[in-house]
Amino acid sequence: MLAFKVPSLKGLRALVVAVSDNHPPKCGGDLVVVSQFRWIIRVSEHEDDAMRREIVVIVCAAAGCAHTARVDESKVVDLTYAFDDQTVYWPTANRFDLTPVARGRTEAGYWYASNDFCASEHGGTHLDAPIHFAEGGQSTADVPLHRLMGPAAVVDIREQCSANPNYLLTPADILAHEDRHGRLEPGTIVLIHTGYGQYYPDADRYLGSSERGTAEHLSFPGIGESAARLLVERRVDLVGLDTASLDHGPSKDFIAHRVLSKANIPGVENVAHLARLPARGATVIALPMKIKGGTGAPCRVIAILP
């Protein structure tokens, strides 16, 4: 914790600006708003020096460090699997193919490296745009940014899934989560934690089968139809999970995809490291490659811990 002497209210404001210099706070009247950290600090002209000093100590402690504008990486969780030749793809989809184009010293003496890559939109940690299963739905480039970032709720169904590998999320699971952690507000990013991330990228265990070219023998948990309808009713912004598909492995009608897509709710599949998130309080940002007309895209998903 850092303590500073602040001779005046003006000094306090200058310091608040300093700890958030990438996102300068708005100062007006007796209100100092630090938008980056979502704090609102009311400083009255009548508060004495001791009180001012205390406020500054709180600001500095919460910022982690007053000497740098760098993001505190211990608060950031990467929910993304790297793309390589192990990346899990749907059995019928083209896998990630990286072709080196250049790698070495040029004739002019400087280093130059470059690759080509080619892959299905649907593999690894990726977005499903609504058009994937809804005619006329939004494509990857059309998904509004507000749907791709927001407060996360992590619904834990690990126990149910360890008892039944083809488990389907039910409305009761969602209601039980709401009982414990509060209602899912409109705009929430809902992440379903099945526990299957522990098997990634072992296709035999993660998908239930490593057979390529057919999706006949898949086995993993997913979202049931009525649970999908409840998520639509709650007007959530985005739904993700730690399996290869919103629908469970044996699905033939992909009803969870269809229900969510019809409501223009995109999905994120193969989300990594969900065990590192709290049930509530994290902020998730899921930014897909902006493919015009895309039905999905590789997606970098991160969470910022509270």
Of the candidate spans 72-80, 225-233, 258-266, 289-297, the one that interacts with Zn ion by CB under 5 A turns out to be 289-297
Residue 128 near Zn ion by CB under 5 A: yes
CB atoms within 10 A of CB 87: 20
Residue 244 beta carbon to Zn ion: minimum distance, rounded to whole angstroms: 8
Residue 257 near Zn ion by CB under 5 A: no
Tell me the β-bridge partners of 267: 128, 239
Closer by beta carbon to Zn ion, 20 or else 261: 261
Of the candidate spans 23-31, 37-45, 222-230, 288-296, the one that interacts with Zn ion by CB under 5 A turns out to be 288-296
Among residue numbers 164 through 193, which ones bind Zn ion (CB under 5 A)?
A: none
* DSSP helix, strand, coil percent of the chain (3-state; round to 5): 25, 25, 45
Question: Which residue is closest to Zn ion by CB?
Answer: 122
Q: Which helix (H) or strand (E) holds 156?
A: strand 149-156
Q: Which helix (H) or strand (E) holds 159?
A: helix 158-163
CB atoms within 10 A of CB 245: 24
CA distance linking residue 136 with residue 282, whole number of Å? 32
Residue 256 beta carbon to Zn ion: minimum distance, rounded to whole angstroms: 12
Residue 210 beta carbon to Zn ion: minimum distance, rounded to whole angstroms: 19
CA distances from 201 to 6, 77, 88, 106, 248 (A): 54, 19, 6, 37, 17
Of the candidate spans 22-30, 51-59, 108-116, 119-127, the one that interacts with Zn ion by CB under 5 A turns out to be 119-127
Residue 247 near Zn ion by CB under 5 A: no
Residue 238 beta carbon to Zn ion: minimum distance, rounded to whole angstroms: 13
Of the candidate spans 1-9, 77-85, 115-123, 194-202, the one that interacts with Zn ion by CB under 5 A turns out to be 115-123
With CB under 5 A as the contact rule, the residue among 52, 95, 122, 177 that binds Zn ion is: 122
Question: Residue count at the site for Zn ion (CB under 5 A)?
Answer: 3
Contact 284, 130 (CB under 8 A): no
Residue 122 beta carbon to Zn ion: minimum distance, rounded to whole angstroms: 4
DSSP 8-state class, residue 54: H
Residue 290 beta carbon to Zn ion: minimum distance, rounded to whole angstroms: 16
CA distance linking residue 54 with residue 63, whole number of Å? 14
Q: Contact residues for Zn ion (CB under 5 A)? A: 122, 128, 296
